[in-house]
């Protein structure tokens, strides 16, 4: 007999995680609304980066009366409050993820795979930009485009 599949985010852990973010939201002066709660549930259920349209579809599957403009306003407010971060992963629309897991992004221009890179990878770039140009970068906001190991030919690997 096969074992039943368990999702990575159980109902209990999902509720606990959403409540934790809502507590943070309240502490930062934000309001808790049904649409905001459902949006946060959709963010946790996505378990990765999701566009506003993808998050809106998830919310509207539960509450069809929540308008896309409500989703965008909530995304902006959750970002302003430091709960979410938006990122541009190449040429598509911005995607959103929780600010509590900082990371950079490497995106393959050939196959589209996105690799979440630890912030330390961008530390030297950040130091150099600050020292040479007086500029502080936010590596969470952009993606470094290139080719993943699967899409790089052996000849290209030898050249670098």
First to last CA, the chain: 51
Is pLDDT of 8 > 60? no
pTM of this structure: 0.73
pLDDT tens-place string over residues 78-89? 998 888 989 888
Going by pLDDT thresholds of 50, 70 and 90, the confidence category of residue 158 is: low
Of 66 and 14, the structure prediction assigns the larger pLDDT to 66
What pLDDT is attached to residue 2? 34
């Amino acid at each position: 007999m096969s074992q039943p599949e368990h999702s990575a985010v159980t109902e209990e852990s999902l509720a606990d995680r959403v409540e934790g973010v809502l507590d943070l939201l309240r502490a930062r002066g934000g309001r808790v609304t049904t649409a905001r709660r459902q949006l946060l549930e959709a963010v946790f259920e996505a378990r990765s980066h999701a566009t506003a349209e993808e998050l809106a579809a998830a919310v509207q599957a539960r509450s069809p009366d929540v308008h896309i403009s409500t989703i965008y306003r909530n995304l902006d407010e959750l970002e302003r409050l430091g709960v979410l971060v938006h990122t541009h992963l190449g040429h598509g629309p911005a995607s959103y993820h929780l600010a509590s897991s900082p990371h950079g992004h490497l995106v393959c221009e050939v196959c589209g795979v996105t690799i979440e890179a630890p912030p330390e990878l961008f530390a030297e770039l950040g130091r150099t930009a600050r020292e040479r140009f007086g500029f502080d970068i936010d590596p969470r906001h952009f993606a470094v485009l290139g080719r993943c190991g699967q899409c790089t030919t052996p000849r290209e690997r030898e050249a670098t």
